[in-house]
């Protein structure tokens, strides 16, 4: 909106498909930086990966302290994967966003998203879908998320995203 005029400002950055997408550089936690600043390359959107590729790429990004980018990888899986697996990938994306918020210093939002994602992961691991876990340690991931949520609620100081990143296929 243009201030005071009540009109929409359509001079926004757009991607090739015409969707609004800021071209501002971002840091490793996805926060916008001033134009002209060197940032971290963004994850390309809409990449279709196998479940194994999704897990490997997300783990690589989590290990580098880039949970915002890992969230985008999980989001691609949830949007392009089979309908019956969307809740799993959405829950994993929520865990990554929860870690992102915790690293940014938003303890309340981080704890909320970690608990929400953990609840989805727990439901998935207990349901008939549990056979399609793609090697993920869902019990360990839920335990990790609840522990980190407890930590954020007890101490709202930002966490180091790389140091607090979960192991997706091993114990959380």
pLDDT at 55 exceeding the cut of 60: yes
Q: Could you read off the pLDDT of 113-130 as tens digits, one per residue?
A: 999 999 999 988 876 655
Triad 42, 43, 49: Cα angle to 5°:
175
Specify the range with the lowest mean pLDDT, choosing from 10-14, 23-27, 48-52.
10-14
Does the global pTM surpass 0.75? yes
Q: All domains of the chain, ordered by start, with CATH?
A: 1-42 (no CATH), 51-154 (1.10.3450)
| Euclidean distance between CA atoms 46 and 158, whole angstroms | 30
| Euclidean distance between CA atoms 108 and 130, whole angstroms | 30
**Tokens in use for 5?**
């005029």
C-alpha dist (Å) from residue 93 to 14, 55, 98 = 24, 11, 9
């Amino acid at each position: 909106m243009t201030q005071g005029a009540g009109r929409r400002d359509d001079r926004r950055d757009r991607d090739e498909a015409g969707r609004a997408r800021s071209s501002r550089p971002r840091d490793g936690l996805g926060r916008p930086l001033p134009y002209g600043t060197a940032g971290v390359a963004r994850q390309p959107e809409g990449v279709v990966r196998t479940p194994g590729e999704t897990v490997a790429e997300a783990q690589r990004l989590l290990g580098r302290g880039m949970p915002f980018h890992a969230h985008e990888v999980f989001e691609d899986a949830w949007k392009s994967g089979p309908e019956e697996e969307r809740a799993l990938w959405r829950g994993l994306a929520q865990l990554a966003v929860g870690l992102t918020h915790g690293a940014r210093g938003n303890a309340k939002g981080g704890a909320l998203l970690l608990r929400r994602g953990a609840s989805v992961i727990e439901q998935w691991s207990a349901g008939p879908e549990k056979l399609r876990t793609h090697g993920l340690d869902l019990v360990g991931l839920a335990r990790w998320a609840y522990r980190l949520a407890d930590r954020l609620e007890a101490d709202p100081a930002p966490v180091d995203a790389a140091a607090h990143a979960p192991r997706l296929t091993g114990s959380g």
